[in-house]
Amino acid sequence: MIDMKSQIPDPGSPIPGMADDARAVIERAFADAKNPCITSSFQAECVVLTHLLQEARPDIPVLFLDTVHHFAETYAYKDEQARSQKLNLITLRAAEPQPGLWERESTDACCARHKVGPLFAALESYDTWFTALRREQSASRANLQEVEPFRLPSGQMIRRISPLAAWTTKDVWAYAKAHGLSLLPLYEQGYTSIGCEPCTSIPFDPNNPRSGRWQGQKLECGIHIQAK
List active site positions.
221
- 133 touches 41 (CB < 8 A): no
- Please name the residues in contact with 123: beta carbons below 8 A apart, sequence gap of 6 or more: 37, 129, 152, 158
- 49 touches 21 (CB < 8 A): no
- 199 touches 207 (CB < 8 A): no
- 59 touches 74 (CB < 8 A): no
DSSP 77: H
- 89 touches 82 (CB < 8 A): yes
